[in-house]
Structure 1
Amino acid sequence: MNLLILGLNHTTAPLSLREKLAFGPEELESSINMIRAMFGAPACGGIKEVAILSTCNRTEIYCAAEEPSAAFRSLQDFLVQSKHVSLTELEEQLYFLVQDDAIRHAFRVASGLDSMVLGETQIVGQMKKAVKTASHAGGLGLFLNQLFQKTYAVAKEVRSSTEIGAHSISLAAAAVRVANRIFGSLSESNILFIGAGEMIELCAAHFGAQNPQKVTVANRTVARAQALADQVGANAVSLAELPEILHNYDVVVSCTASTLPILGLGMVQSAVKKRRYRPIFMVDLAVPRDIEQEVSSLDEVYVYTVDDLGKVVQSGMEGRKAAVALAEELIAKRVEEFKNWFSSRESVPQILLLQKRADDLRMMELEKAKKALHKGESVENVLETMSKGLMKKYIHDPLTVMRNTQSLSEEDYEKVLDLLQRFYHYHGR
């Protein structure tokens, strides 16, 4: 069995491709079931365990599979068919990681080393949600379960023993920084948040600290909007009201799970006219995007995507090189530990076969001993005969191997001899 990861992220693929390959919450379980059903046979990769991590910065499929090369082709075909993209679009953007590289990548992702915001902690929560969904779908087994549990532990250790998250600038903080550049101060600005998830909640906290004049939360479910609005002292509205109220806001921050744009070009053009062409700052943190791409062509609208904000957050990277080096060193050690565990699990079938073989030999000699006792032979003679029989049977296979070493090369002969010597704790020649 092998651990595999097929995916792309903000460093390998542009937003335009990442949004095509994003998996919505409603797709995850069915996709996991489909991959296991379609590619469980060895010829298709022998994929037995599956989890999918899909965020604004990455889409990654984690697997335990028998045949890495076949699994790669199967997963690649699955993305082409299910996401309606061409193989040409994917080939140069995807990464395929096997065993050690897959383990290291999982540890780095959870530790925030592979994030747009170095050291960010939100990714661990996103990974835990992905694992919970995979577990509910029946996609987790021994290997992925162990990988993710170890991954959480490594992420916790990296953050507690290094300064990887020190002085980092979150996407929310970066959005506030850009807004201040545009408006000078947000104290007289009206801010609209579209969505009510964790990212919007984080943004609401950062923008709220700027003491804006008015804050509104819009969501498909008004009750969820109201719950967040109550926390930040805002108003709550439904998405259906956006065309009538959009022009009232100077800053718009959107992050929903919608598969289609929330704010189209026509709606924004209308809002700009009603504002008499005063500027609007729009932050689109969703993947797929909530704001139609054409909106960025309007002179009065400043649209920032996750990738645009990512360039802002890179400013603190230089001062944290030492923390990154320390984190990488720690992860390297934990990868070796996990490899040892994995290797021990791989030898379990052989160990079980060896135990069965020994038990079969034991039962053969035991049956002979019982028959001898039944015939009236002395216990002492029976035990002596049984012990010699066990001894002969247990050393028969190793002796056969040694007698057949003539066909081996000198190097292989030395390996066999060394293994037998270690097996029997014998160090003489």
Structure 2
Amino acid sequence: MTVLTLGLNHTTAAVDLRGRFAFAVDQLAPTLKTLHQRLTGSTHPEVALLSTCNRTELYCAAGGLGGPVHTLRHAAVDWLSGIGGVSSEELMRHTYVLEGGQAARHAFRVASGLDSMVLGEPQILGQMKQAVREADTAGTLGTTLHQLFQRSFAVAKEVRTSTEIGAHSISMAAAAVRLAGQLFEDLGRTKVLFVGAGEMIELTATHFAARNPRTMAVANRTLERGEKLATHLGAQAMRLADLPQRLHEFDIVVSCTASTLPIIGLGAVERALKARKRRPIFMVDLAVPRDIEPEVARLDDVYLYTVDDLSTMVQTAGEKRQAAVAQAEAIIETGVQGFVHWLDQRTTVPLIQALHSQADAWRAAEMARARKLLAKGEDIEAVLEAMSRGLTQKMLHGAMAELHSADTSQRPQVAAALSRLFLRGELVPGRNTTASSPPDKAEPGQANRHDPQGDKA
């Protein structure tokens, strides 16, 4: 098995392009089922999909290297390009494709917050866990991806507990509050509207609430959920449908919903500005795809920021924690080596299964033969002797055939391999014992023990 990661993030694609490939949480499981059906063939791939405001990443695992994985990679690219309505060539200019250890390293860095716009931010870990749950629900997770993600979570936990990577972090929410504070001298006199009721809005609202604004309101498509958050914040709840008529009431608007289309249009903002007599509005669009039409940014009295606009401020704060990055990378590298070793071991699973199957078939055949002899009244000792001899002959037949058919140049290597497999030791040059002859008779208590002194005899 090998793992494959195909993705685009805030470093490779702008917010508008990322928006074409964004998936809401409730879209993940059905999307994965459709994708799995499309990709399933001789490779029987495992798939998981991670989609946040900063990234969309497809994780796959498939049997074998070369052909099957190569085919899987092209199929995944074609599928994702179709989702976003762009050509495969255009998509590949903004994506990264990683395999094996590189894919594992990337997953571990993402889980640990090292690949985030906000260095060390904790939200991504919860988003990855949600992605795993959705893949499990869709039935597309599989043993290899399960192992990859569980190791990612373990590495992320060690990074957070052993390093200062998350200390003094400035999140998107904190950055939004700082920018608002630069526009409005006293945030305690502002009215703030939060559009949406998800985790990001709750986090941002908590940061703004700490500055004690005059009024806060929550507008959400589902009023019940909006009311729950509003009650928690001590804010008002309003219907999303009422937003255009009430937009002018608010000095600050922060939006982050799962809508696939903008919900705050240019016309609504223009009318709000007119009603406010050109008093400025500070707007933050944390959604991907956008909640606020990009044309709004052209209005003179609107200060509109997207997740990409906040990146410079966030990354500057991240420089203070660069000293912890090296330590975190060392922890991640250890985790990668462990996963790659586990993955390498997985390649022998089919062989192990085949060996067990063959051994069971031999055992069943000899047992059936022994039962027939016993039914005929044969002596039990003679039957046991015949059964053990039959098993021994079956087990050694292939090895003896390989040894006898090997040419002169190959025979030493074959003999050494058979010695390691059956004698648990190595043939010694110059010694008369061969793989086809029985091992020296051991003294009592010395069976299966390697005697270095005996090698010198």
Instruction: Identify whether the pair has TM-score above 0.5, normalized to the shorter chain.
Output: yes
Q: Which amino acid in the other structure matches residue 427 of structure 2?
A: G
Shift of 1:310: 1.6
Q: Which amino acid in the other structure matches residue 59 of structure 1?
A: T
Map of 1:60 onto structure 2: 57
Distance in 1, Cα, partners of 2:365 & 2:302: 85
Which of 47, 50, 54 lines up with 1:50 in the alignment? Answer: 47
Q: Deviations over 1:300-359 (max 9, x none)?
A: 111110011121111233332232111111111122222333333332221122122223
Map of 2:420 onto structure 1: 422
Q: Is 1:37–2:37 an aligned residue pair?
A: yes
Distance in 1, Cα, partners of 2:258 & 2:224: 17
Distance in 2, Cα, partners of 1:346 & 1:6: 22
- Tell me if structure 2 keeps the 8 A contact 1:254–1:285: yes
- Tell me if structure 2 keeps the 8 A contact 1:118–1:168: yes
- Tell me if structure 1 keeps the 8 A contact 2:20–2:83: no
Map of 2:16 onto structure 1: 16
Structure 2 alignment gaps of length 5 or more: 429-457
- Tell me if structure 2 keeps the 8 A contact 1:29–1:137: yes
1:14-413 to 2 correspondence within 5 Å? 14-42=14-42, 46-66=43-63, 67-367=68-368, 369=370, 382-406=383-407
Q: TM-score, normalised by structure 1?
A: 0.92
- Tell me if structure 1 keeps the 8 A contact 2:416–2:427: no
Q: Which one is further off, 332-341 or 100-109? A: 332-341
Shift of 1:63: 1.7
Q: Deviations over 1:202-238 (max 9, x none)?
A: 1111111111111111111222222111111111111
Q: Deviations over 1:242-271 (max 9, x none)?
A: 222212211111101111111111111111
Q: Which one is further off, 301-310 or 220-229? A: 220-229
- Rate the CA distance shift 1:247–1:379 in 2: closer, same or farther, 3 A: closer
CA RMSD in angstroms, aligned pairs only? 2.2
The alignment partner of 1:331 has SS state of: helix
The alignment partner of 1:217 has SS state of: strand
Structure 1 alignment gaps of length 5 or more: none
Q: Which one is further off, 340-349 or 108-117? A: 340-349
- Rate the CA distance shift 1:218–1:380 in 2: closer, same or farther, 3 A: closer
Distance in 1, Cα, partners of 2:296 & 2:404: 80
Alignment coverage as a number of residue pairs: 423
Q: Deviations over 1:65-94 (max 9, x none)?
A: 232111111111111223212223201111
- Rate the CA distance shift 1:272–1:73 in 2: closer, same or farther, 3 A: same
Distance in 1, Cα, partners of 2:325 & 2:404: 55
Q: TM-score, normalised by structure 2?
A: 0.86
Map of 2:439 onto structure 1: none
Q: Which one is further off, 12-21 or 182-191? A: 182-191
Distance in 2, Cα, partners of 1:421 & 1:303: 74
Shift of 1:417: 4.9
The alignment partner of 1:307 has SS state of: coil
Map of 2:4 onto structure 1: 4
- Tell me if structure 2 keeps the 8 A contact 1:194–1:256: yes
- Tell me if structure 1 keeps the 8 A contact 2:119–2:169: yes
Shift of 1:113: 1.1
Shift of 1:373: 5.8
The alignment partner of 2:25 has SS state of: coil
Mark the structure with the bigger radius of gyration: 2
Shift of 1:277: 1.7
- Tell me if structure 1 keeps the 8 A contact 2:118–2:170: yes
Q: Which amino acid in the other structure matches residue 337 of structure 1?
A: G
- Tell me if structure 2 keeps the 8 A contact 1:47–1:71: no
The alignment partner of 2:219 has SS state of: strand
Distance in 1, Cα, partners of 2:96 & 2:392: 53
Distance in 2, Cα, partners of 1:40 & 1:293: 39
Shift of 1:185: 2.5
The alignment partner of 1:27 has SS state of: helix
Shift of 1:375: 6.5
Q: Which amino acid in the other structure matches residue 172 of structure 2?
A: L
Distance in 2, Cα, partners of 1:137 & 1:358: 36
Q: Which amino acid in the other structure matches residue 30 of structure 2?
A: S
Distance in 2, Cα, partners of 1:363 & 1:291: 70
Distance in 1, Cα, partners of 2:136 & 2:389: 52
- Rate the CA distance shift 1:366–1:257 in 2: closer, same or farther, 3 A: closer
The alignment partner of 2:23 has SS state of: coil
Identity %: 52
- Tell me if structure 2 keeps the 8 A contact 1:216–1:235: yes
- Rate the CA distance shift 1:28–1:374 in 2: closer, same or farther, 3 A: closer
